[in-house]
Amino acid sequence: MNTYTYTINDMIKDDNGIVVTVMFSVTASDGTDSYTHNYQTGLPAPKDTIIPFADLTKEGVIAWVKTLVGEDTEKQADAELEAFKKRKVTTTGLPW
pLDDT at 11: 96
> Are the C-beta atoms of 73 and 19 separated by less than 8 Å?
no
Instruction: State the pTM of this model.
Output: 0.80
Of 41 and 80, the one with more pLDDT = 41
User: What are the DSSP calls for 13-40, one per residue?
Assistant: E-TTS-EEEEEEEEEEE-SS-EEEEEEE
Task: Give tens-digit pLDDT for 39-77.
Answer: 999 988 888 888 888 999 999 999 999 998 878 888 888
pLDDT at 59: 96
Instruction: Please give the mean pLDDT across all residues of the chain.
Output: 88
Pairing relationship of beta strands 19-29 and 34-42 according to DSSP bridges: antiparallel
